[in-house]
């Protein structure tokens, strides 16, 4: 499984756009990039997944450059409730036999 590197923590203020970058230099051809969000005392929750270019949903956008060695999760106009840990995962998750490997994630703190 490709190893990922992401910042340990980030700080932001309400209303700002937050971009969290994840490095995955040894990503394989069949690998997808997936992001999860975890609030305190809860299990992680799927946010978004992509393979290349840009993916957008109602929660976030995911930007993946052509070489796919990194990706950026973009959260538009964050609020206090976006304070959470964000995990970047890389793997061939469309295979029924794959497992998710969670790193330590990025702790995002949103202040008023």
Partner 1 sequence: DVKVTQSSRYLVKRTGEKVFLECVQDMDHENMFWYRQDPGLGLRLIYFSYDVKMKEKGDIPEGYSVSREKKERFSLILESASTNQTSMYLCASRAGTGGYEQYFGPGTRLTVT
Radius of gyration of the chain (CA): 13
Among 2, 20, 31, 34, binds partner 1 (CB under 8 A): 34
For residues 21, 22, 24, 29, the Cα torsion angle rounded to the nearest 10 degrees is -80
**Phi and psi based region of residue 105 (left: phi greater than 0; alpha: psi -120 to 50; beta: remaining):** left
Among 29, 43, 67, 112, binds partner 1 (CB under 8 A): 43
Which of positions 73-112 make contact with partner 1 (CB under 8 A)? 87, 93-97, 99-105
- 19 lies in the binding site for partner 1 (CB under 8 A): no
- 61 lies in the binding site for partner 1 (CB under 8 A): no
């Amino acid at each position: 499984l490709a190893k990922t590197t992401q910042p340990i923590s980030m700080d932001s203020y309400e209303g700002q756009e937050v971009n969290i970058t994840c490095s995955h230099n040894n990503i394989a051809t069949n690998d997808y990039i997936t992001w999860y969000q975890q609030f305190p005392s809860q299990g992680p929750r799927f946010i978004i997944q992509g393979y290349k270019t840009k993916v957008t949903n109602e929660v976030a956008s995911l930007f993946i450059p052509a070489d796919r060695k990194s990706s950026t999760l973009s959260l538009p106009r964050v609020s206090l409730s976006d304070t959470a840990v964000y995990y970047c995962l890389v793997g061939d998750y469309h295979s029924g036999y794959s497992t998710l490997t969670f790193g330590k994630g990025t702790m995002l703190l949103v202040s008023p």
